[in-house]
Amino acid sequence: MHANAQEIVVCPGCRGSLRLHASESVIIETGTLECSSCGAVYPVRRGVPRFVSTESYADTFGRQWTRWARTQHDSLNETTIFRGRMQRYTGWTPESMSGKVVVDAGCGPGGFIDVIEEHAKLVIGFDLSCAIDAAYELHGRRPNVHLAQADIFRSPLPDGVADRVYTFGVVQHTEDPESAFRSLIRLVRPGGEIAVWVYRRSRIPQPLYLVRRFTAGMSEPRATRFIEWYVPKAYRVSGMVGRVPVLGRYLRRLIPVADYRDRRDERRQLSSEQMFEWALMDTHDMLITRYTYPQRWEDLQRWMRDLEGVRRPTPSEMAAVATKPA
């Protein structure tokens, strides 16, 4: 962590200011943050301040993002997938982040940080899981990036810290998606914007939810071993089904595996090897996560009930952006 990060974090318990104790003076690899109000002490380990003692329900994410930490980074796989997603979900371009303080809530290993870090004035990312260690290795030493391991329901950030806050593919994996989202609104300055993207709730039950009855919450490392056994087989079946004339691309979606071979989006930029690695990663996300609560547009509107200018940048995405009243 950067020594000046103590100026932009607070005690998640009482909101008091924190005092840094460390032998290093610029880049802090090991140390503690002590609350001046309640006396709580939070360790800094491997360069990351830790505001939680366990990963709780996010432990499978930690294993997932650590195992495939470099898979979903535009700068590493030579694509524009995450840049395109950012724009579809929000209407924001990375260049529009210039001069802004941005919070990535549930940043994982930093796929979206990778897109905006060259443009934003300051990027603050936090994640409940140990995926934050992968984010630190890839992004944490940049002077304008601050990272922390923290709970979305009790983030260690002061009110009004950010011009923009986003959380993509995160809150639907918590035990209370609406409360998780609304806990982030206080982080936005008056006149700033907040954005969310979640899984879409389908009117027709999807086969993956039948499989999840047996796999959801599976412990690690058993879960990763299962995924690495299951995906090659399901991916092969999906490929065979996909070759059925006319109906193949629709029948393929009945197979509970993340097969993107017929998708007409940015993932077409991936090589066949990269596509399979994404299948491993996203199938892990689909089947293993303890909580998965897809949402409807009406749900997002309810979450943003006291915000202004609620909009859906792309009709095909279950994403919304709104402005905090001045």
Of 46, 320, 4, 304, whose CA–CA distance to 167 is shortest? Answer: 320
Residues 193 and 79 in one domain: yes
Range of the domain at 110: 52-200+297-323
Q: Does residue 238 share a domain with residue 161?
A: no
Based on the fold, state whether residues 301 and 257 are members of the same structural domain. Answer: no
Report, as an integer, the average pLDDT of 236-254.
Answer: 89
Give me the helices (H) in 30-123, please: 59-67, 74-77, 81-90, 111-116
Let me know whether 142 and 283 are in one domain.
no
Looking at residue 55, its pLDDT comes to: 65
What pLDDT band is residue 26 in, cutting at 50, 70 and 90? confident
List pLDDT tens digits, range 108-155. 999 999 999 999 999 999 999 989 999 999 999 999 999 999 999 999
Regarding whether 303 and 173 lie in a shared domain, the answer is: yes
Mean pLDDT, to the nearest integer, of 294-301? 97
Phi, psi of 107 (to 5 degrees): -75, -15
Cα distance from N-terminal residue to C-terminal residue, the chain? 32
**Same structural domain for residues 122 and 229?**
no
**Dihedral sign, Cα of residue 122, residue 66, residue 29, residue 39:** positive
**Residues 188 and 266 grouped into a single domain:** no
212 and 196 co-located in one domain: no
- Of the pLDDT bands very low, low, confident and very high (cuts 50, 70, 90), residue 71 is confident
Which residues on adjacent β-strands are paired with residue 49? 44
User: What number is the average pLDDT over the span 264-287?
Assistant: 86
User: Where are the extended beta strands (E) located within the chain?
Assistant: 18-21, 31-35, 41-45, 48-49, 101-105, 122-127, 145-149, 162-168, 188-197, 308-311, 319-323
Task: Give the CATH number, domain containing residue 161.
Answer: 3.40.50.150
Length, in residues, of the chain: 326
| Residues near 157 by beta carbon (within 8 Å), at least 6 away in sequence | 8, 9, 10, 103, 124, 126, 187
Q: List residues bridging with 147 in a β-sheet.
A: 125
Q: Are residues 183 and 240 in the same domain?
A: no
Count of domains forming the chain:
3
- Residue 297: is its pLDDT beyond 90? yes
pLDDT band, very low/low/confident/very high, at 58 (cuts 50, 70, 90): low
Q: Which of 45-54, 106-115, 118-127, 197-206 has the lowest mean pLDDT?
A: 197-206
- Whether 8 and 38 share a structural domain: yes
Same domain flag for 72 and 196: yes
Position with higher pLDDT, 57 vs 12: 12
Query: Cα dihedral sign for 48, 89, 251, 205?
Result: positive
Residues 56 and 116 in one domain: yes
